[in-house]
Structure 1
Amino acid sequence: MISMKNSAASKRKHYSLFWATYTLVVLGVAAVGMALGLIFGYAIDLPRVDELQKVRPNVVSYVYADDGRVLGQFATEKRILVTYDQIPKHLKEAILAAEDSQFFRHSGIDFSRAFMTLFRDAVFGERKGFSTLTMQLSKLQFTSRDRTLKRKITDMLYAIEIEKTYSKEQIFTIYFNQIYMGHGTYGFAAAADYYLHKELKDLTVAEAALLAGIVQSPERHSPINHPDQALRRRNNYVLARMLKERFIDQATYEKNLKEPLAVQGRNFESGPAPYFVEWVRIHLEQKHTADEIWKSGLKIYTTVDYDMQVAANRAVRDGLKRFDRERRRWHGPIERGQDPSTYRHPDWLEIFYEGLMIPGVVVQSGASQAQVKLGSYTALLGPDDVKWTGRKRVDEVLRRGDVAMFTITKINQNERTLQVTLDRVPEAQAALLAVENKTGAIKAMVGGFDFRYSKFNRATQALRQPGSIFKPFTYVTAMESGYSPYDTVLDAPVSFRDGLGRLYEPTNEDEEYKGLITIQQALYQSRNVPTIRLANALGIKRIIDVAHRFGIRREFPPYLPVSLGAGELTLLDITSAFTTFPNNGVRAEPYFIKRVEDYNGVALEEHRNRIEEVISPDTAGKMVFMLRQVALHGTAATAVHAAGEDFKRPMGGKTGTTNDFTDSWFVGFIPQVTAGVWAGRDEKKTLGNRVFGATLALPIWVDFMRDVFKQVPATDFETSYQPAGPSENDNSQLLTSQPVSNEPITVEDIKPPL
């Protein structure tokens, strides 16, 4: 009986085991079938991957100075494409160690790594990925960052297809050029340039490890925003992995652990020529599409001299700040009562560099020192850094919680400290333009104090009254009419009435009159009344025609005050016009782009010089002779003589000031280069009492030319003119005490400048 029961139980057990096994097999087959069906379903939707290498990604368009140095760039994605052979061995190894050490051994999917990752996820709850470089490339090119099963399966299928289509070297190179590296940079070559200012071939092992460590999370591992995190990632993970994979030995590992984090960052918008680069972009838009400019990798070769451009920036900034401190007392910080522990400013997200003016918050302040926070940096401020305010104690100027502007003079990346001075944004603006006389090439351009605060280019866009800077066109007309620099003109009160009976009585700036003086003296001392007498005798329409011949294509009303600069023009207009004098009467049309090439080096546009003779060499020689006297004996003499021995070389120029002291001008030239400076307020308000061209614009010009003289040799002007005394021309009209004009003289809204 017992035996029969055991037999029945055994049969039931085998029966249950059979059905359990059968059910598992059926479910397993169904699961495999479903998985295969799912994979097949995803697979038939996959687009072709054989076009992957043929599609060129977006690349940077570069703007180059005349010596090949980079001035700026246009890019939606900052990327520099390289070949596999251009990638250093230690950088390849750093990437493999950090991201996929089995890359050259697997076929797109690292199954052992995948199973181990899934096991650790299930058992220990670790959330780690197992994407290979090929799977990451699939995610970059074909799928997305969604954390879904479908995307993971699709990435694996893509990886298999990519591996069947391309070699390992091709896959690695595409990945190397495409991966996002933070701060708008794509690919390791662009990242090396951006973070380290280096080419790939110059990277150390530690720097290669730093870049490789960014890939996992460009925001979290950014060496700009999170240097401590980036350093830990480099040392504790990437270098350690390189040692474990035997890419480096123990000595190399220990040596590179000690290498400091020397990250600088690169900000082309705050580079040496932001106004100029923007001018280039505006020009390109007239001939090229937006995609060509921003995505196709154009090479734009310009005329700018890099060193002159740096000097121009420095001269404008220093000149405006110096003038602002002399004319305007310290009015206190821009904010008060902030909590230093919580205060943040958007400008702190920028790349810091020496010369940058940026807000900072005072953490603590005492009589001899204040601590300032600027983003992740700190700085100490001493009495010398605030002495321009006229205060001796630091805490008389700044207190805890104050927010003020500071200029960075030195950066210590490793200690995260700065050296700064107290500063502020000047109320006045300025522009500077330098042009090569013989060719018309723009060598330097500054359009304002700081491009970050105002993108309006005052060198090319601002129409301002030129004041006395316009006077040379009257004297050109006189020389062409047969007068000599030694002929005389009467500097005595004069008045005119227009057709409506309104009285116009021009005066000199000093409200004095010198009587009979030479024409050259009238020009180099910038006398208004003699200039008006000349203009009246010669005819204002002739003078306007002369200005047009010099390339000033502005319309001027035919009124006598125009001869004193009552019209409007740009700094580019007047600076280009002045190049005619030192160039023997020949003017070259100004230009700034020499050549534009596409990504493959094919020329898309190329400049051809356009020159024309504006005045005769004899007239040009007379004008150079008279304009040289401005620097020797005239309105620019004091500043030029004070500038020192370097300025005892052949040079000429002209100051300019307008009514109510709203505009300060100086355009000066040497045989090789002409440079013009304008300064004023955008609102056309006064700069202050008795602010002349020699007060603000001329010192900026002197500072700029001091650097120019270091690279441009001193030579004399090529002129055949030899001063010989008065002409035999009848100048009786210039001596008349009360000339009468039949032409309209003035209008209500035109005032004669100084």
Structure 2
Amino acid sequence: MFSIKRLIQLIISICLLGTLALFILYINLKDELPSVESLKNVEWQTPMQIFSADGELISQFGASKRIPLTIDEMPQQLVDALLATEDDRFYLHFGVDPIGLGRAVWGQIIGQNKGGASTITMQVARNFFLTREQTYIRKIREIFLAIHIESLLTKDEILELYMNKIELGHRSFGYGAAAQIYYGKDLSDLTLAQYAVLAGLPKAPSTLNPISSPKRAKERRSVVLQRMLSSGYITQAEYEEANSAPITAKRHGVEISLSAPYVAEMAHQKTVELFGTEQAYTSGYKVYTTVTAKLQRAAQDALVKNVHAYDQRHGYRGAVASIRSDYKRQLTEGLADGEELITPEPVIVEEAVAALANIEDYPLLYPAVITDVQEQSATAILADGYSTQLLWDDIKWARPFINDQRQGPPPKKAADIFALGDIVYLSEKASKVTTDEAIEETDADVASEEELALVDEPAAEETIVKYYRLNQLPEVSSTIVAISPDDGAIKALLGGYNFKQSQFNRATQAKRQVGSNIKPFIYSAAINKGFTLGTLVNDAPINKWDRSSGFVWRPKNSPENYAGPIRVRDALAQSKNVVAVRLLREVGLDNMINYLTRFGFEKSELPRNESLALGSASLTPLQVVTGFASFANGGYLVEPYVVERIEDNEGNIVYQAAPSYACDQDCSAFGEQIPEESEIAENAEQDESTAVDSTELAADSKIDPDQPLMADDEQVFTPLKRATHIISEENAFLMSQAMYSVIWGADWSASPGWQGTGFRGRVLKRHDIAGKTGTTNESKDAWFSGFSRRLAVTSWIGFDDHARKLGSTTLNTNLPKKDPDTGLNQITGSEFGAKSAQPPWIDFMAVALQDLDEEYIEQPADIVSIRIDKASGKLTRKTDRSTRWEYFRAESAPTDYVTVEEVTRDIFNEEDEDSLEEEEIF
């Protein structure tokens, strides 16, 4: 009895001494413990997200993936699984679980692992404030912090912090992000088996996750489910069902709903520029761009279609690789002396799939292995093991590529295209079939009404059968960029065929020679000097002797025919090179360069010789489309921008774009009335010898658009500001009229007849569109730039290798001469702007114009319409086909009537004496 009493006293003394020691230790460590007050207002480090203007997710930037959720948004089964596994007495203890702590201490004494002593609250303390070092002093700090946290926060608040903070593998933090990474779903959409997998991750996320270690993840899931069963959270039946479920996790990226990687990178760079890398990546900014999903998808479809069309008409470059390389070598190079033809082993599914694992795939392009070659068809296996039949109609285009100028003969049989074991790229065509009947294999977007009706018929069982056609990864590059002429907002942008293939943004970074896309600006300078659309200019060969170099410069038309005296409107519509040179001479080279800077072109980008008139300047597509927008908006230079606003993770606007608007005194159509603008050069076009510096002429703005706004600012409103008025409204109107004739202009009344170089645009059946083709020397670059009143669009195509030409093609006799869908002839001959760059512009505008009413550019008050004689440009009283209505400034309208006896004299027939600095390159 005495010994028991002494033992009890000893235990009490030890407890008191221990408590005293802990109190003394707490006093000593109190000043070193971090404040936990910050837990009341946690700002989660969440990644930056980029959205379209209409809210579709484009991209996400940031090393850590996190989707913060409230405790009410956490599924109860997940909470139960987590409590059963990590801290079953969480709602009963005060931050430290005495039972669990005692068990852990006893385990240490006897040398056995009795489980961890950390509660969920202690883990919150460690995750937010401490490191993972295995020391007693860290554990004691953890205990003190846990007790303090329990005094500040409710149990639900602590659990919410834990479930959003915990690291769960593959750079996912918190259960909202983990559900997306492992299952590609919202957390609320998972099953019990999947919740159990996630609940088992905190112990060792790098080794227990179902992607890296599916076997260990399954074993850990079983432990979690067993504990849930023991704790009464689930029934035996639920346990058995979840425990027998397969591991279904695989790595998922962020749920991108709109592909616009070049736009995303531009927005990303802007955000980093504004806020710095660390803040941009961790503050959960939502960046809203100016692009719309519909237009971005239309641009993507148009560019991809055109690039593949160009690439395929130039021929098939052959297989990417071969898994029967010796057999392939014999077929292509012939047998060596004494060598016998190899009989290749059949390709099995496992072999094909293994080979394809090392082949890069691209959006819309799927690598496949040819496993059988028939007379006019072939069989291929894709990376997922799916076997497909390639029919003759889907491979017969593949005549050999020889070089950019030449193609081989069209194939007659599948063996002319494939060999067994070839690794090729395919593009998908899908058709829906039933158990009884199937529609004919065809692209979904060209299926007939009967086929579509068959697809929609209900059936007992339906299966999607995938059809594919031969394709290849294009080598040519291309871009499309569309902006609003009203404020410069970028509505769609693609910087190349595929961001995965090349991250170089050709829309903003590629300076390419613009060819005849420069001519509208040359003609605008001539209009500014006093020319009219009816002025006659001599379309005749130029022979210019240059004494300094000893050669004759002979700029030529393309095609090389000359019409003699020709009106300015028709010269632009037919893209007459020599007329552009003559106009430049009339304006003067220095004056012309100064004038072109009004459109935002840098002087350093403009060559100081007459080749400037033919497009030897190198500009980016974004610069070009911005210049063209000035003709659509009445003569204003807008500033392109892609980020409309940035919000923080609470929805506060921290940045708001402040675009410049193309408006005069009344800008109410665009929103809030702006304050009085600073002085602008309203009479800038009166002095063609002086360049207009758009920086000096910019209107004042009350807010710096590049200055981030604070979330607690009383006002995030940015006043509207006016864009710089660079050319007169009359000039812009007359030039838009001239470019209207590029598409709609034609005259077959005289021989030879002609039509505008952009006549293919008539398929849009819109009379409010205008544009200009462009092709450089040797067809290294092809352009089409055009606009409606509310949208300006530039399309470019060419090779990144400046030495390569777009080349030419011959008729592929395996294909119809005329496309049955479009009615257009198969493209043959030399590639140039109208053939190579205008088709995607047309396809894009066909979608974009659906939401834009037909709207003509408003005729200025000072513009009059007068009937003139086509041949002379003078007034006429006739009303037959030899006449037309033409627009003039009132003060420059013709006053003389044409007479029968009058003979039109050639003007500008005399050659100037100014020498050129370099030979014409076009």
TM tier, smaller: 0.7 to 0.9
Can you list the C-alpha shifts for 1:586-633, whole angstroms capped at 9, x where unaligned?
332222222334445554433223213222222222222221222224
Task: Specify the alignment match of 1:517 in structure 2.
Answer: 566
After TM superposition, give the deviation of residue 537 of structure 1 in Å. 2.3
Counterpart selection for 2:639 from 562, 582, 589? 589
Contact 1:143/1:155, CA 8 A, preserved across alignment: yes
SS at match of 1:62: strand
Contact 1:537/1:733, CA 8 A, preserved across alignment: no
CA distance in 1, matches of 2:756, 2:214: 54
Structure 1 pair 606/31, CA: closer, same or farther in 2 (3 Å)? closer
The one-letter amino acid paired with 1:299 is K
Establish whether residue 312 from structure 1 lines up as the match of residue 299 from structure 2: yes
CA distance in 2, matches of 1:404, 1:658: 33
Structure 1 pair 100/506, CA: closer, same or farther in 2 (3 Å)? same
Can you list the C-alpha shifts for 1:55-108, whole angstroms capped at 9, x where unaligned?
634222222321233322332322233433443444433443454443323444
Task: Specify the alignment match of 1:571 in structure 2.
Answer: 621
SS at match of 1:580: helix
CA distance in 2, matches of 1:733, 1:222: 86
Task: Specify the alignment match of 1:5 in structure 2.
Answer: none
Structure 1 pair 429/87, CA: closer, same or farther in 2 (3 Å)? same
Q: Decide which moves more: 239-248 or 560-569.
A: 239-248
SS at match of 2:596: helix
Counterpart selection for 1:282 from 248, 252, 269? 269
Residues 379-528 of structure 1: matches in 2 within 5 Å?
A: 379-384=386-391, 389=398, 393=414, 397=418, 399-400=420-421, 403-405=423-425, 423-498=471-546, 500=548, 502-528=551-577
Contact 2:258/2:293, CA 8 A, preserved across alignment: no
After TM superposition, give the deviation of residue 506 of structure 1 in Å. 0.5
Structure 1 pair 477/97, CA: closer, same or farther in 2 (3 Å)? same
Contact 1:671/1:716, CA 8 A, preserved across alignment: yes
- Number of equivalent positions: 714
Structure 1 pair 613/260, CA: closer, same or farther in 2 (3 Å)? farther
Counterpart selection for 2:382 from 353, 356, 372? 372
Q: TM-score with structure 2 length normalisation?
A: 0.67
Task: Specify the alignment match of 1:8 in structure 2.
Answer: none
Can you list the C-alpha shifts for 1:677-696, whole angstroms capped at 9, x where unaligned?
11111121212132211222
SS at match of 2:307: helix
Task: Specify the alignment match of 1:167 in structure 2.
Answer: 154
After TM superposition, give the deviation of residue 408 of structure 1 in Å. 7.2
Contact 2:380/2:388, CA 8 A, preserved across alignment: yes
SS at match of 2:385: strand
After TM superposition, give the deviation of residue 661 of structure 1 in Å. 0.9
Residues 24-173 of structure 1: matches in 2 within 5 Å?
A: 47-48=33-34, 50-51=36-37, 53=39, 56-97=43-84, 99-109=86-96, 131-144=118-131, 159-160=146-147, 162-173=149-160
Counterpart selection for 1:718 from 842, 858, 878? 858
CA distance in 1, matches of 2:238, 2:846: 48
Task: Specify the alignment match of 2:773 in structure 1.
Answer: 655
CA distance in 1, matches of 2:222, 2:601: 65
Contact 2:211/2:249, CA 8 A, preserved across alignment: no
Establish whether residue 626 from structure 1 lines up as the match of residue 613 from structure 2: no
Q: Decide which moves more: 703-712 or 25-34.
A: 25-34
Structure 1 pair 733/104, CA: closer, same or farther in 2 (3 Å)? farther
Contact 1:582/1:718, CA 8 A, preserved across alignment: no
The one-letter amino acid paired with 1:456 is F
CA distance in 1, matches of 2:624, 2:781: 14
Can you list the C-alpha shifts for 1:10-40, whole angstroms capped at 9, x where unaligned?
xxxxxxxx9xxx99x9999999999998999
After TM superposition, give the deviation of residue 578 of structure 1 in Å. 0.7
After TM superposition, give the deviation of residue 493 of structure 1 in Å. 1.1
The one-letter amino acid paired with 2:33 is P
After TM superposition, give the deviation of residue 139 of structure 1 in Å. 4.5
Task: Specify the alignment match of 1:266 in structure 2.
Answer: 253
Task: Specify the alignment match of 1:616 in structure 2.
Answer: 728
The one-letter amino acid paired with 1:178 is K
Contact 2:356/2:369, CA 8 A, preserved across alignment: no
Contact 1:584/1:719, CA 8 A, preserved across alignment: no
Structure 1 pair 249/700, CA: closer, same or farther in 2 (3 Å)? farther
Unmatched 5+ stretches in structure 1: 1-17
SS at match of 2:584: helix
After TM superposition, give the deviation of residue 41 of structure 1 in Å. 7.6
Establish whether residue 561 from structure 1 lines up as the match of residue 561 from structure 2: no
Q: CA RMSD in A?
A: 4.7
Task: Specify the alignment match of 2:801 in structure 1.
Answer: 683
CA distance in 2, matches of 1:465, 1:175: 58
SS at match of 2:784: strand
Q: Decide which moves more: 250-259 or 547-556.
A: 250-259
The one-letter amino acid paired with 1:280 is A
Task: Specify the alignment match of 1:672 in structure 2.
Answer: 790
Contact 1:635/1:694, CA 8 A, preserved across alignment: no
Structure 1 pair 287/513, CA: closer, same or farther in 2 (3 Å)? same
CA distance in 2, matches of 1:437, 1:69: 24
CA distance in 1, matches of 2:467, 2:137: 53
CA distance in 2, matches of 1:688, 1:144: 64
Contact 2:320/2:424, CA 8 A, preserved across alignment: yes
After TM superposition, give the deviation of residue 280 of structure 1 in Å. 2.4
Can you list the C-alpha shifts for 1:252-288, whole angstroms capped at 9, x where unaligned?
8899898996978335899622212222233334433
Task: Specify the alignment match of 1:303 in structure 2.
Answer: 290
Can you list the C-alpha shifts for 1:718-750, whole angstroms capped at 9, x where unaligned?
3345653334399x99934643224343414xx
CA distance in 2, matches of 1:599, 1:68: 15
CA distance in 1, matches of 2:396, 2:228: 53
CA distance in 1, matches of 2:301, 2:211: 26
Structure 1 pair 285/119, CA: closer, same or farther in 2 (3 Å)? closer
Contact 2:758/2:834, CA 8 A, preserved across alignment: no
Can you list the C-alpha shifts for 1:467-507, whole angstroms capped at 9, x where unaligned?
00000012112222333323322222112234625421110
The one-letter amino acid paired with 1:622 is L
SS at match of 1:581: helix
Task: Specify the alignment match of 1:747 in structure 2.
Answer: 918
CA distance in 1, matches of 2:553, 2:658: 47
After TM superposition, give the deviation of residue 581 of structure 1 in Å. 1.6
The one-letter amino acid paired with 2:531 is Y
The one-letter amino acid paired with 2:659 is N
After TM superposition, give the deviation of residue 512 of structure 1 in Å. 1.7
CA distance in 2, matches of 1:323, 1:462: 20
Structure 1 pair 533/137, CA: closer, same or farther in 2 (3 Å)? same
The one-letter amino acid paired with 1:481 is K
Structure 1 pair 538/219, CA: closer, same or farther in 2 (3 Å)? same
Can you list the C-alpha shifts for 1:279-329, whole angstroms capped at 9, x where unaligned?
223333443322222222333332121222222223223322221122132
The one-letter amino acid paired with 1:294 is Y
The one-letter amino acid paired with 2:843 is D
SS at match of 1:484: coil
